[in-house]
Structure 1
Amino acid sequence: MDPLKSIAQIAASGMSAQSARLQVVAENVANADTTAKSAGGDPYRRKTIAFEEYLDRESGLNMVRVADVGRDNSAFSLRYDPSHPAADPDGMVKISNVNPILEMANMREASRSYEANLNLYEAGRKMRGLMIDLLK
């Protein structure tokens, strides 16, 4: 197998995984301040993402992919708001368990990982171009 094609395939699998991670982070941030719609209900529960390494049998390369998109089962925050439709008898409303600061850190890490994979892809593309130029 062409080693430069292998670089591109590995980098592409990394970019795909980080893209999925950014989508999960974006959904979490968008729902950070949600509450339940009715009394006793639960608000948006933060999503988590896990990756796994796998062997692509066709190419023989170790790649990365999304293994699971799960839910963070940590406790919801409570806010006192007796006028809210989802307030319990004590006037407390459940707030989503999304921590925007944590999500921003995850977004930055995913963005940088995506960029690193993109740089790897571009380096492989440039090497392929140089190799073609040498063969002329």
Structure 2
Amino acid sequence: MDPLISSLKVAASGLGAQSERLRIVSENLANAQSTGNTPGADPFQRKTITFTAELDRASGAHMVEISAISPDRTPFVTEYQPGHEAADELGFVKMPNVNVLVEMADMREANRSYEANLQTIKQARELISMTIELMRGQ
């Protein structure tokens, strides 16, 4: 298959993967303070995303695929908030295992990767257009 078409397919799979990654990061950030509703209840659990490379037999290129979206198993942090509705008998509330700084770093990395894939698509489109123009000129 044409290398330009292959590069478009690979970049498009990267766009989709990073878009999903941004969605997961946004969900984590939105729920960074979401506690349970009852005493001792578990709060929101951070989600992680895992990618894998899948061979596209038609193009021979390795595409980015999402292999799993799973809960992060790191322990919840507890805070002393005796008046909170989710506080246990000792006044401690389980807080989500979301670290806002880590999520912001993940968001920045996903955004940059998304932009790089988008730039690849733009360059491939430009090369295809230039090739068409050269063929018209003959």
Asked if these proteins are the same fold (TM beyond 0.5), I'd say: yes
Match for residue 36 of structure 1? Answer: 36
Q: Where does structure 1 lack aligned partners over 5 or more consecutive residues?
A: none
Say yes or no: does 1:125 pair with 2:101.
Answer: no
Match for residue 54 of structure 1? Answer: 54
Match for residue 75 of structure 1? Answer: 75
Q: How far, CA to CA, are the matches of 2:2 and 2:55 in structure 1?
A: 17
Say yes or no: does 1:3 pair with 2:3.
Answer: yes
Q: How far, CA to CA, are the matches of 2:57 and 2:37 in structure 1?
A: 47
Shift of 1:7: 1.1
Shift of 1:83: 1.3
| Equivalent pairs, count | 136
Q: Where does structure 2 lack aligned partners over 5 or more consecutive residues?
A: none
Percent of residue pairs identical = 49
Shift of 1:49: 0.4
Shift of 1:77: 1.0
Amino acid at match of 2:46: R
Shift of 1:48: 0.3
Amino acid at match of 1:14: G
Q: How far, CA to CA, are the matches of 1:58 and 1:127 in structure 2?
A: 21
Match for residue 99 of structure 2? Answer: 99
Q: How far, CA to CA, are the matches of 1:95 and 1:85 in structure 2?
A: 13
Over residues 10-61 of structure 1, what are the superposed CA-to-partner deviations in whole Å (9 max), with x where a residue is unaligned?
1000000000100000000000011111112100000000000011123322
Over residues 71-112 of structure 1, what are the superposed CA-to-partner deviations in whole Å (9 max), with x where a residue is unaligned?
111111111111112111110000111001100000000000
Give 3-state SS (helix, strand or coil) of 2:5's partner.
Answer: helix
